[in-house]
């Protein structure tokens, strides 16, 4: 068996190990952040409520959904941008990427539908088994409707991209994935706050840009290394995507957070006080620190990319691994922020 073929046989095990590590790291980040901000789900929701298990299930479903979203976006980005071939047809790695995107979309859809059920149970303070008696009430909850719309879009995405053969067809999948990100983002904040339009619009951009940035790096590791002859080109393309996405993440994140803090504290001038006294502000500071660490790792990433990146033992890939784990922690903080908000 050749070295290349042996590497391909090892890849599934490494992929599973990497995915499990990402879930564990993100989960630890989520749980620690929730307890640190005193925003952990209550263990007692009163008689007749959904119970502590369901309370904890919501942030965990959000986390798995976020990771699946990143996996789907990274695979689609790899197929459409990073691995793009002249003439339009997808190569071997491109077809592999769309299949992975479809699988990730299935997980994303399951989490969206399960999240709709759990969200309805929590907001209506009704056990899951009795939700059928309040079906109309559940469908009237904006957050539930957003999750159902997302689930339907993602199911269509999973089916539609399963066997596409061209980058243009995969590009349509990218548009559907972006559309699926919007409903949850626009219902993330209360509807009647004066700053919600700014915060909500910025959050939509923030979610799309962050998903592109993190998913793109995951796609580089998953598919770029297998495309050994074109790895340099794949890295160059990802570098362009990462710069644009990271700037968009920073600007939109600051604007969204400022709008949220202004809404919580009563005005733009009260943001500094809210930032230092509110649990949301504390988690936001932690997320900013994680972002700055990612910028530092990205700089090291570029420095080491001048080496022979085909050698898996080089510092470049170790930096990328740390970068991905830091991104996993950041995703956990993001879910904790949504729980706190």
Mean pLDDT by 10 residues, the chain (341 residues): 43 64 90 86 64 89 93 91 75 89 95 96 91 92 95 96 88 93 80 66 89 90 70 82 92 86 72 77 88 88 62 68 89 87 64
Q: At what angle do helices 167-186 and 142-160 cross, to 10 degrees?
A: 170
Nearest residue to 77 via CA among 161, 201, 182, 200: 161
Q: Which residues is 89 bridged to in the sheet?
A: 166
**Residue whose pair of structure tokens reads 């080109």 in the numeric block:** 233
**Using CA atoms, how far apart are residues 155 and 104, in angstroms rounded to an integer?**
11
pLDDT for 193: 57
The phi and psi torsions of 201 (rounded to 5 degrees) equal -65, -40
pLDDT for 137: 93
What is the DSSP-derived secondary structure letter of residue 314?
S
**Using CA atoms, how far apart are residues 100 and 77, in angstroms rounded to an integer?**
12
CA distances from 123 to 45, 128, 194, 195, 292 (A): 11, 11, 23, 23, 36
Q: pTM for this structure? A: 0.85
pLDDT for 9: 39
pLDDT for 191: 54
pLDDT for 236: 83
**Using CA atoms, how far apart are residues 269 and 193, in angstroms rounded to an integer?**
16
Number of other CB atoms surrounding residue 162 within 10 Å: 15
pLDDT for 11: 47
**Using CA atoms, how far apart are residues 341 and 189, in angstroms rounded to an integer?**
7
**Using CA atoms, how far apart are residues 207 and 337, in angstroms rounded to an integer?**
13
How many residues are listed for the chain in this entry?
341
Q: Which residues make Cβ contacts (< 8 Å) with residue 207, sequence separation at least 6?
A: 181, 184, 185
pLDDT for 86: 57
């Amino acid at each position: 068996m050749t070295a290349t073929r042996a590497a391909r046989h090892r890849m599934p095990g490494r992929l599973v190990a990497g995915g499990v590590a990402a879930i564990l790291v993100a989960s630890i980040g989520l749980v620690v952040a929730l307890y640190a901000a005193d925003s952990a789900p209550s263990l007692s929701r009163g008689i007749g409520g959904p119970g502590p298990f369901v309370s904890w299930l919501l942030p965990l479903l959000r986390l798995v959904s976020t990771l699946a979203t990143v996996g789907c976006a990274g695979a689609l980005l790899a197929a459409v941008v990073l691995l793009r071939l002249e003439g339009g047809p997808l190569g071997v790695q491109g077809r592999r990427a769309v299949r992975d995107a479809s699988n990730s979309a299935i997980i994303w859809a399951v989490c969206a539908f399960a999240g709709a059920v759990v969200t309805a149970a929590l907001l209506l303070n009704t056990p899951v088994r009795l939700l059928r008696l309040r079906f109309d009430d559940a469908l009237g909850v904006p957050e539930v409707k957003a999750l159902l719309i997302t689930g339907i879009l993602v199911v269509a995405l999973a089916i539609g991209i399963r066997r596409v053969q061209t980058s243009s067809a995969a590009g349509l999948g990218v548009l559907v994935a972006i559309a699926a990100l919007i409903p949850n983002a626009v219902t993330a904040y209360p509807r009647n706050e004066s700053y919600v339009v700014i915060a909500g619009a910025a959050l939509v951009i923030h979610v799309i840009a962050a998903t592109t940035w993190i998913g793109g790096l995951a796609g580089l590791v998953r598919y770029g290394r297998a495309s050994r002859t074109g790895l340099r080109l794949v890295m160059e393309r990802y570098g362009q995507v990462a710069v644009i996405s990271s700037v968009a993440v920073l600007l939109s994140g600051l604007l969204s957070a400022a709008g949220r803090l202004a809404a919580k504290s009563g005005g733009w001038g009260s943001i500094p006080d809210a930032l230092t006294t509110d649990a949301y502000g504390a988690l936001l500071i932690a997320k900013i620190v994680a972002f700055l660490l990612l910028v530092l790792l990205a700089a090291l990433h570029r420095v080491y990319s001048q080496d022979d990146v085909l050698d898996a033992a080089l510092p470049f890939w170790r930096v990328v691994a740390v970068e991905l784990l830091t991104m996993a922690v950041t995703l956990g903080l993001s879910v904790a922020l949504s729980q706190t908000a």
